[in-house]
């Protein structure tokens, strides 16, 4: 692969000095690669049976995106009349299978596409984790190959009719995120939930993610501040393990006029539930963290219903 390839869809495709000698140069410079990808329309059609699409983003790693995505899905699916699915597009570090108790599961292909793996009758999951045969397998792919996988996930998974599709993403603002936005451009995405922790070191990455969302016109449903304080189970005093030295998510949301959906405290039982593949909402429903989570989920449900009401009133 050409190391300095400007990208087949770039304005410079086929025209830069690093394109000299590349076997695809003629194709790129003819403009053929800049024609819209037919997959976008196909994905648009596929997504027409999905009522609500929610992206879970951060910018910063390790803030609890996958934990949040999984538990948002569990909470929404607790209403047995709703069909819910999680799509994990973290190609290098797919955490969703473990967190949802599906490690070792494999996907099946049928005439209508790939079948997702089911946690419950109304809760389905797709992740590259299901395509790897061993927990030691590394996915050492460059951008274009990751993009191809994401396209397949969106186009070829047989979700059926869904009320909610939650898309869990890796940290950053790169190939995976650009591809997601690109491939979903022919369908309506309700919005993104942005996850952060209280420290400035997280917020500085999260502000970039928010800027990215604004650039690609992705609505932001709101911000969740995770790991927001720790109450010692022994003496009940609170410690700020990840101190909000610059005002935490609260200050950032005030500055950027974004809703703060909730502040979830640290609870060792969350990590344990995730490792065991169980929902901590089910395991420790009386935990303060569980209460905050449920209130966040309600806010998200309200946001999604209001969008439907708005659309109906304008048509």
Annotated binding site for ATP: 59-66
Return the structure tokens found at 150.
């994401």
Over the window 241 to 270, marking each residue x when it contacts other proteins by CB under 8 A and - when it does not, the resulting string is: xxx-xx-------------------xxx--
Interaction between residue 177 and other proteins (CB under 8 A):
yes
Residues 6+ apart with CB under 8 A from 256: 207, 210
Positions in 84-143 near other proteins (CB under 8 A): 91-93, 95, 98-99, 135-143
Interaction between residue 163 and other proteins (CB under 8 A):
no
Interaction between residue 6 and other proteins (CB under 8 A):
yes
Helix (H, G, I), strand (E, B) or coil at 293: helix
Give Dmax (Cα) for the chain: 70
Interaction between residue 173 and other proteins (CB under 8 A):
yes
Contact 197, 205 (CB under 8 A): no
Query: For residue 121, how far is the Cα from the chain centroid?
Result: 22
Comparing CB distances to other proteins, the nearer of 129 and 222 is 129
Positions in 217-236 near other proteins (CB under 8 A): 230, 232-235
What is the sign, positive or negative, of the torsion defined by CA atoms of 10, 14, 20, 26? positive
* Nearest by Cα to 222 from 182, 249, 188, 185: 249
- The site for other proteins (CB under 8 A) is made up of 2-7, 59-63, 66, 91-93, 95, 98-99, 135-144, 146, 170-175, 177-178, 197, 199-201, 204-205, 207-209, 211-212, 215, 230, 232-235, 237, 239-243, 245-246, 266-268, 271-272, 274-275
């Amino acid at each position: 692969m050409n190391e300095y390839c400007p990208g087949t869809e770039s304005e410079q495709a086929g025209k830069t000095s690093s394109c000299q000698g590349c076997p695809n140069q003629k194709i790129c410079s003819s403009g053929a690669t800049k024609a819209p990808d037919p997959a976008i329309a196909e994905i648009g059609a596929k997504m027409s049976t999905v009522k609500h699409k929610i992206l879970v983003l951060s910018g910063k790693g390790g803030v609890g995106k996958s934990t949040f995505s999984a538990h948002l899905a569990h909470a929404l699916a607790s209403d047995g009349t709703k069909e819910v699915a999680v799509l994990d597009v973290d190609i290098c570090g797919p955490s969703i299978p473990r967190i949802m108790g599906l490690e070792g599961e494999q996907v099946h292909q049928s005439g209508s596409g790939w079948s997702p793996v089911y946690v419950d009758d109304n809760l389905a999951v797709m992740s590259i984790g299901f395509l790897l045969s061993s927990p030691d397998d590394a996915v050492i792919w460059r951008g274009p190959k990751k993009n191809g996988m994401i396209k397949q996930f969106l186009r070829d998974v047989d979700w059926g009719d869904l009320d909610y599709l939650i898309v869990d993403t890796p940290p950053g603002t790169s190939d995976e995120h650009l591809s997601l936005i690109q491939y979903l451009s022919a369908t309506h995405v309700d919005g993104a939930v942005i996850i952060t922790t209280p420290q400035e070191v997280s917020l500085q990455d999260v502000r970039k993610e928010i800027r990215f969302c604004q650039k690609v016109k992705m609505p932001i449903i709101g911000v969740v501040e995770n790991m927001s304080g720790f109450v010692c189970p022994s003496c009940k005093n609170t410690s700020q393990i990840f101190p909000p030295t610059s005002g935490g998510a609260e200050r950032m949301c005030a500055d950027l006029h974004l809703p703060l959906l909730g502040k979830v405290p640290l609870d060792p039982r969350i990590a344990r539930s995730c490792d065991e593949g169980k929902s901590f909402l089910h395991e420790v429903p009386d935990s303060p963290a569980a209460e905050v989570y449920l209130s966040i989920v309600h806010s998200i449900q309200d946001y999604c219903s209001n969008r439907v009401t708005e659309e109906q009133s304008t048509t």
